[in-house]
Structure 1
Amino acid sequence: MSEPRYLNRELSLLAFHRRVLAMAEDESLPLLERLRFLCISSSNLDEFFEVRVAAVKQKIALRVRETGVDKADPVALLQALRQRVRAMIDDQYRLLNADLIPALAGEGIYFLRRDHWNARQRAWLADYMRQWVLPVVTPLSIDPAHPFPRIANKNLHFIVSLHGKDAFGRSHRYALIPIPRTLPRLVKLPDEVAGEGVAFVFLSSVIHAFVGDLFPGLTVEGCYQFRVTRDTELYIDEEEMEDLKRELQGRLEQQRRFGRAVRLEVSDNCPEAVAEYLCRQLQVEAEDLYRVNGPVNLHRLESVYDDVSRPDLKFPDFTPVLPARLEDAEDYFAVLRRGEVLLHHPYDAFTPVVDLVRQAAADPDVLAIRQTLYRTASRSAIADALVQAARNGKEVTAVIELRARFDEADNIRLAERLYQAGVHVVYGVVGYKTHAKMLLIVRREGKGVRRYVHLGTGNYHEITARFYTDIGLLSADPVLAEDVQRVFLQLTGLGHAVALNKLVQAPFGLHCFLLDRIQRETELARQGRKGRIIARMNGLEDPEIIDALYAASQAGVRIDLIVRGICCLRPGVEGLSENIRVRSVLGRFLEHSRVFYFGNDGDPVVYGSSADWLIRNLHRRVEVAFPIQPRPLKRQAIREALRYYLRDTAGAWELRSDGEYRRVRRRGRPFSAQAQLLADRQPQ
């Protein structure tokens, strides 16, 4: 086969971001939801530059060539990424200007340009400039006494071309205006000024209109917005440090806000000389300059969604439900002693998880609580319950992953709060991120103790649980609970890898377990029996897993993969992967569940997991996969997390062998997995 065996991970991730933008282009969706998808695509692209493009640039600087799944020349890869990103950015602004803004105007939601302000609106905005903008912005002249300042990551700035002399007789060519993050990027006009409908004005338009107020006595020849995106990776040698929390606190400000510049965005009317000046000062290559026809940060348009009360332009409200066994339950421990409960968020409420921790905190018979926390706000209900448990004399241990990207500062605050309350705080394992989602409660019952657990595919975060799809298992199974306790002992103490009975753990056994399960299906197919694999995850990259799937396909195993983001496997290649289909499903909620199904000759094995099939998850993180064994729960997981998504024609995309995605063709009425799951929870 002359074509590469694997698809490139960066290009694959960028293809996912393009599919998110396609949601904004989908005219069948409510209008304000389309605007939100545009904002999400912009935020995704920011992170893509901060992490992925920055990493490729780092490889070029260090002359590193990929040796794993991707063996691409990083220089050629960077050029390909730039080309695709430039096309995507053009599509974003074309969609905003030619489609969304006119469509919103048709619904009475206006974005007023400067040349469309009437006298009353102009007077109100001039007053807004005096009251709210002038007191908090600090124009910075650039001259020998005032060198070019440090520009923080993703902060809005304006560069102003000036003519004339100031009060001290100094001539100035350029000045900068940093815009504080506290200022809204969209100014909503009051009803009495807006006229009909709802009216917004971009802050950039306000600055442009009244920029002369910041430079009295000087002539403003031009004013142009710009924004810099920087490398935000935290480069820390964990083997050399003594205190991870202190080291992170010291690096966050410097590396995250002022890392190496990887992208410069400027308004499309910025003169070439000014753009070249910015590139020189910021040490940005000319190929990393992006001109945009609109605000340089589309993500800040997200405020429109909350500021406009138009339910008809949004997805219908829904209320998560409680599984039947938890309705009116006052004692969750008693419910779990009678059997396990499967939660499917956001369709099922996340409150049972919170309430379980609260009940444990207040119960005098509960002796200990242990929990992993990857992304959890310091003032969340979960954190409050753990604090209360410690104050009530429970033995509380929290394994907090400080290195969860972009949540490091929140996690440091959470760790400090729990530590002050008397919680034993552990930061995981040096060199391995703790990504497993586990809760263990030890309770005195009768003459001994009983343990209760929650295992999930998503974070203990009440807010994201409202719009991320995840599954969680509540259980009092003593064997499963013993496994969870062993993993916690491993994380908080020292020792060898522990033997587990039901859980499967990375980085020790999960990779081999998956290979063995794939091999089992392969052998069944070779024996003329039915081999079947359905796996759902956020990313697939591990080359050994991919090669095992290729071998299974060649043996006749029918394989369906539901992969939201990165997928380096090439499906449908003759002689290699003819029996593999890959689809990506996007919709109202962010698909986040990891569920693995192996046919097992008619006795299916189903696991939920915190781990994707990525190299980092299987080899450089602490992860767990947990079995879903009771038949009713197994059927529920197969139906809701897998089969519905294989039927989806509303938000599904198929990956072709060339690495491109195409929308699944809709025949008749489209079927949406997410809509069906919402309907399943409605009263009959």
Structure 2
Amino acid sequence: MNQAVQTSEAIEYDQSVRYLNRDLSLLDFHLRVLEQAVDPLHPVIERLVFLLIFSRNMDEFFEVRVAGLMQQLSYSDDTTTPDGMHPSEILAKISETAHAAIDRQYRILNEEVLPALAEENIRFLRREELTNDQATWVHQYFREQVLPVLTPISLDPAHPFPRLVNKSLNFIVTLDGKDAFGRDIKFAIVPAPRSLPRVVRLPDHLTGGFEHHVMLSAIIHEHVSELFPGMSATGCHQFRVTRNADLEFDEEAEDVAKALKGGLSSRRFGRAVRLEVTSHCPENIVEYLLRRFGLNQTQLYKVNGPVNLARLLSNFNRPKMRYKSFTPAMPAALKSSEDIFAAIKKQDILIHHPFESFAPVINFLREAARDPQVLAIKQTLYRSGADSEIVQILADAARQGKEVTAIIELRARFDEESNMEVANILQEAGAVVVYGIVGYKTHAKMILVVRREGDKLTRYVHLGTGNYHAGNARMYTDYGLLSANPQLSEDVHKIFQELTGMGKAAKLQKLLHAPFTLHPQLLAYIDEEIGFAKSGKGGHIIVKVNALTERQLIDALYKASQAGVKVELIIRSTCCLRPGVPGLSDNINVRSIVGRFLEHTRVYYFGSGGEPKVYCASADWMDRNLFSRVEVCFPIDNGHLRRRIIQQGLQNYLEDNQQAWNLTKEGIWERVVPKEGEPLHMAQSILLEKLAR
């Protein structure tokens, strides 16, 4: 990459140039995920998985981002976003882009992915494709497994249109004839039970041993008349409504858990924001549903396939059609040591997930729970799951009489119910459970173990960029640090005291801490790089985060670019900074990596005149992380570990020419294409080869 040069003349640009729209930038990320479904670098079943991930991403995008914009309009809020756009403009652009993207998603499914699966004898059969024997088996399956749990709801004055759960699969059925009570019923709603699998595999003896499947929607459609004896079903049409799923509850309530529980029940029936129907659904039915949900044509999505595509995936047992399996490596510092505390005390240990195992984190906790010398364990839990081994270890430690404290963030979006269950498990085991700070989500990833060694107490810590979730550790890239550094562990101890008690913000020695010191210190480090650039020492900043939206930091990076600082940003999803604008951001490059693993590491690099500073953090560069959350940013002081992060976690990604996208000054993401003769470089694959087995 070219050496940064000082801009001769800084140019002032208005908001529409300085900032990209947050919601449209996030939507662009979802489009990059969709493009993975046509990428030959991925095996065909993994391409199907990317289609389903895109569906889930879009569900959440409508539930949260679109719903929020619609709510602004309902309040007659004329506030514009930092880029100068009005909510109505953003919604119009979202509608245009999302309709085109979802049309493309189903074309990819029908024209590329399903035919490729069929070539390998994995087929999703339509009703008309079933043989007589297969149709007989499906009918029996319907009678025995489906019919007993279906609840048809006729629509008449005694049965008004039902409240349908967010994202549930439903059928609207048109009827002819009279029911048992002589009523002339024209419409009925049939909700598909969520307890039933959406994909049903036919027995091997009916398929010649091949993997042939039938959709639950097709099974219900074929036999729906059996729900209405004496009447004829003249039509049966799938539909699905997406609702506002953002929680509203009193955060200052006396019992936060109780208030949150009340909010969860209302989430399932929030305001409708999107209606999905199949492409062959008659217009009169479409109009009827739109009226019922208070939506218009721009909020209607007609799809050529199942409306609940996110649940299409089955357990395909085809290793050759999936990613090659791997075994995460054990960090070298732990391979030869049976005593994890001795290993940590000897040196800081860096773990790079998923290439290196999550097992050391679990082992660290397990040994702490078993060790009679361990007196206390404290941990933050943001997303873990009630069935998590970590939760069970903490509960066991509490039952054994150790002082166990868990800071559980009940408001982790879409994990609220699971986190309440975790809180109940730990409370019943005797642990101290705290829900954090009113008005601030606890997003920091920390474990503190206090151990008696001789006549002294020694503290051991784990700090991470990702959640304490073993499943995510196999799919997300994250860093974790095990350390017995006295200053670092003292800082962690102070933050736990801050979270469980009351008082002034803790004064820390090593850690940067949101919402207190992190944001001002980042600005100070950027300003420091400006000073190095102006003095001829070549300022350099590299930031790898999930999202960049905070305007003060964006403006500081613009100022750095104008001073000649080389700024390289690796942003997974949302980026509101516009790179490459003459006189504003000439020296800023922005790229995004989308591949097999979800990029989740947060790493900040400052050149510091040749003596680099490297931090890992739980925080993205967003307003919510820096001002409304409790976050921790920890330095990598060990020279070997620092060089490793720079090479493997930053430079490696800057050199990727296989799964990288660059952001242009026009705000368009362009796929990186290797130059002629240039060696192919795929960052995630290189880390798999280097670290895993």
Give the TM-score band, short-chain normalised: over 0.9
Q: CA deviation at 1:681?
A: 2.0
The within-5 A match list for 1:135-534 is 135-195=148-208, 197-239=210-252, 241-254=253-266, 256-303=267-314, 306=315, 308-534=316-542
Q: CA deviation at 1:444?
A: 0.8
Task: Specify which of 61, 69, 78 is matched with residue 48 of structure 1.
Answer: 61
Q: How big is each residue's C-alpha offset from its partner over 1:272-321, in whole Å with a ceiling of 9 and x where there is no partner?
A: 11111111112222321111110001111122xx2x21111000000011
Native 8 Å contact 1:584 1:654 kept in 2? yes
Residue 651 (structure 2) pairs with residue 643 (structure 1): yes
Q: How big is each residue's C-alpha offset from its partner over 1:329-369, in whole Å with a ceiling of 9 and x where there is no partner?
A: 22111011111000000111001011111111111111111
How far apart are the structure 1 equivalents of 2:241 and 2:123?
Answer: 28
Q: CA deviation at 1:379?
A: 2.1
Q: TM-score, normalised by structure 2?
A: 0.97
Q: CA deviation at 1:192?
A: 0.7
Q: Secondary structure at the match of 2:212?
A: strand
Native 8 Å contact 1:8 1:70 kept in 2? yes
Q: How big is each residue's C-alpha offset from its partner over 1:90-147, in whole Å with a ceiling of 9 and x where there is no partner?
A: 0010001111111111111111112211111111111111111111101110001111
Residue 687 (structure 2) pairs with residue 670 (structure 1): no
How far apart are the structure 2 equivalents of 1:23 and 1:613?
Answer: 26
Which letter maps to 1:246?
K
How far apart are the structure 2 equivalents of 1:267 and 1:91?
Answer: 15
Task: Specify which of 128, 132, 135 is matched with residue 122 of structure 1.
Answer: 135
Native 8 Å contact 1:456 1:609 kept in 2? yes
Native 8 Å contact 2:447 2:462 kept in 1? yes
Cα pair distance change 1:214/1:371, threshold 3 Å: same
The within-5 A match list for 1:508-657 is 508-657=516-665
Worse-superposed segment, 149-158 or 662-671: 662-671
Q: CA deviation at 1:426?
A: 0.3
2:3 paired residue number:
none
How far apart are the structure 2 equivalents of 1:257 and 1:428?
Answer: 25
Native 8 Å contact 2:198 2:217 kept in 1? yes
Instruction: Structure 2: give runs of 5+ residues left out of the alignment.
Output: 1-12
How far apart are the structure 2 equivalents of 1:28 and 1:440?
Answer: 41
Q: CA deviation at 1:682?
A: 5.0
Task: Specify which of 71, 87, 91 is matched with residue 74 of structure 1.
Answer: 87
Aligned alpha-carbon RMSD (Å): 1.1
2:74 paired residue number:
61
Worse-superposed segment, 69-78 or 499-508: 69-78
Q: Secondary structure at the match of 1:135?
A: helix
Q: How big is each residue's C-alpha offset from its partner over 1:21-80, in whole Å with a ceiling of 9 and x where there is no partner?
A: 000111231000000000000000000000000000011111224466343110111111
Q: Secondary structure at the match of 1:64?
A: coil
Q: How big is each residue's C-alpha offset from its partner over 1:503-558, in whole Å with a ceiling of 9 and x where there is no partner?
A: 00000110001000000001111112210001100000000000000000011101
2:7 paired residue number:
none
Q: Secondary structure at the match of 1:258?
A: coil
How far apart are the structure 1 equivalents of 2:91 and 2:166?
Answer: 21
Q: CA deviation at 1:328?
A: 4.0
Native 8 Å contact 1:321 1:681 kept in 2? yes
How far apart are the structure 1 equivalents of 2:258 and 2:28?
Answer: 37
Q: How big is each residue's C-alpha offset from its partner over 1:5-27, in whole Å with a ceiling of 9 and x where there is no partner?
A: 10000000000000000001112
How far apart are the structure 2 equivalents of 1:433 and 1:220?
Answer: 51
Native 8 Å contact 1:68 1:543 kept in 2? no
Q: Secondary structure at the match of 2:363?
A: helix
How far apart are the structure 2 equivalents of 1:575 and 1:180?
Answer: 58
How far apart are the structure 2 equivalents of 1:357 and 1:162?
Answer: 60
How far apart are the structure 2 equivalents of 1:638 and 1:646?
Answer: 10
Which letter maps to 1:285?
N
How far apart are the structure 2 equivalents of 1:398 and 1:262?
Answer: 36
How far apart are the structure 1 equivalents of 2:572 and 2:632?
Answer: 20
Q: TM-score, normalised by structure 1?
A: 0.98
1:681 paired residue number:
691
How far apart are the structure 2 equivalents of 1:594 and 1:126?
Answer: 52
Cα pair distance change 1:553/1:58, threshold 3 Å: same
How far apart are the structure 2 equivalents of 1:120 and 1:13?
Answer: 48
Which letter maps to 1:178?
P
How far apart are the structure 2 equivalents of 1:455 and 1:69?
Answer: 33
Q: CA deviation at 1:216?
A: 1.6
Task: Specify which of 8, 11, 18 is matched with residue 31 of structure 2.
Answer: 18
The number of residue pairs the alignment matches comes to 678
How far apart are the structure 2 equivalents of 1:268 and 1:57?
Answer: 25
How far apart are the structure 1 equivalents of 2:449 and 2:589?
Answer: 41
Q: CA deviation at 1:148?
A: 0.7
Q: CA deviation at 1:669?
A: 4.5
How far apart are the structure 2 equivalents of 1:539 and 1:649?
Answer: 21
Residue 18 (structure 2) pairs with residue 5 (structure 1): yes
Which letter maps to 2:63?
E
Q: Secondary structure at the match of 1:302?
A: coil
1:103 paired residue number:
116
Choose between structure 1 and 2 for higher RCO, CA contacts under 8 A separated by at least 6 residues. Answer: 2
Which letter maps to 2:134?
Q
Q: CA deviation at 1:381?
A: 1.1
How far apart are the structure 2 equivalents of 1:58 and 1:517?
Answer: 38
How far apart are the structure 2 equivalents of 1:510 and 1:488?
Answer: 17
Worse-superposed segment, 211-220 or 625-634: 211-220
Worse-superposed segment, 23-32 or 448-457: 23-32
Which letter maps to 1:664?
V
Q: How big is each residue's C-alpha offset from its partner over 1:375-411, in whole Å with a ceiling of 9 and x where there is no partner?
A: 0112211111111111111111100000000000000
Native 8 Å contact 1:65 1:72 kept in 2? no
